Amino acid sequence: MLKTEISSIKLKTPLILASGILGTAGTSLKRIVTMGGAGAIVTKSLGISPRSGHKSPTIVKEEKGGLISAIGLANPGYENFKDEIEIAKQGGAPVIGSVYGFSFREYIEVAQGLEDYGVAAVELNLSYPNVGKTGAFYGKHKELSFEVVKAVKESVGIPVIAKLTANVSDIVTVAKSCEDAGCDAITAITALEAMKINVDTGRPVLGNKVGGLSGPCIKPIAVRCVYEIAKEVDVPVIGCGGATTGEDAVEFMMAGASAVQIGTGILTRGITIFKKVSKEMEEILKRGGYKNVGEIIGIAH
């Protein structure tokens, strides 16, 4: 009932682990599949070399359904991640490598390296809101997004997914540029730029001052972005941003998503959230008289 596919990637369930959550160790990624029930998993964003990230504090838990984080793309570098991917693949679900770069060359090298390690696809992180102006640069410009996607697509033989930010005036224009460049799917959205100030000290709480807001509070924005993008592009769209329940996932798919990523929800419902949400989705589908999840994709249009 829940089987779907993204480009050539077949999924037993449309629920995918989002990048950045438990994505730095192969054992954790494997467990998300074998114990948690995820249909696919996305690694932490990997770069060309190891990166320590920002100084603490790096996470602020908000009371209003959100999480502000400024990890700073901390990662071991793609060359040190080969063994982790091998372990993650043992879970039996597609492993998608998240890629970031500060130049076209870096995006290409990391994507090619991860392809050699056996990932099923690469997801290009085109905007990371807590690494200064450079980190948010590519995803905010349709021309640069086009060039990055085109460069990577011409360099690898596996599906290329473009992950977009809503911190733009027109996300649809960027999405269409990525489609024109040859991307196989689009993920919408990444975290929103945000910050929190300590009213007692009068200073920003995060070590980096600015971070990325994720969690249920951004879901309405993410659903709107998925709806607008799916209306204008022909490639599959992956919803991302605040999904924690079966109703959330179904809403994303009715907006036009072919799959839904879950990240922050793990913190509240545990790694078995994928099994829980899958069950809730099946109940909603049966209640609505649907035979499979494909019947609800984009019906809000």
Q: What is the pLDDT of residue 127?
A: 81
Residue whose C-alpha is closest to residue 1's, from 298, 279, 261, 301: 279
Q: Under DSSP, is residue 261 helix (H, G, I), strand (E, B) or coil?
A: strand
Predicted confidence band at 72 (pLDDT cuts at 50, 70, 90)? low
Per-residue pLDDT tens for 109-154?
999 999 999 999 999 999 865 454 444 568 888 999 999 999 999 9
Q: What is the mean pLDDT of the chain?
A: 90
Q: In whole angstroms, what is the distance from residue 301 CA to residue 89 CA? A: 36
Of 48-57, 114-123, 259-268, which one has max mean pLDDT? 114-123
Q: In whole angstroms, what is the distance from residue 213 CA to residue 200 CA? A: 22
Q: What is the largest CA-CA distance in the chain?
A: 56
Query: Using CB atoms within 10 A of its CB, is residue 284 exposed (0-12), middle (13-18) or buried (19+)?
Result: middle
DSSP strand pairing (211-214 vs 67-69): antiparallel
Three-state SS for 17-28 is ECCCCCCCCHHH
Is CATH 3.40.50.11900 the classification given to domain 4-50+73-190+215-296?
A: no
* Residue whose structure tokens are 């920002």: 54
- In sign, the C-alpha dihedral spanning 8, 13, 18, 19 is negative
The tokens describing 153, both together, are 């697509």
CB distance 37 to 262 below 8 Å: no
Query: Half-sphere exposure of 266 toward its Cβ, with a 13 Å CA cutoff?
Result: 24
- DSSP class of residue 51 equals B
Task: Tell me the whole-structure pTM to 2 decimals.
Answer: 0.93
Q: From the CB of residue 87, how many other CB atoms can be counted at a distance below 10 Å? A: 15
Per-residue pLDDT tens for 173-220?
999 999 999 999 999 999 898 888 889 999 988 877 888 889 999 999
Judged against a pLDDT cut of 90, whether residue 281 lies above it is answered with yes
Q: Under DSSP, is residue 38 helix (H, G, I), strand (E, B) or coil?
A: coil
- DSSP class of residue 140 equals G
Judged against a pLDDT cut of 70, whether residue 56 lies above it is answered with no
Lowest mean pLDDT across 28-32, 58-62, 159-163, 196-200: 58-62
Q: In whole angstroms, what is the distance from residue 16 CA to residue 260 CA? A: 6
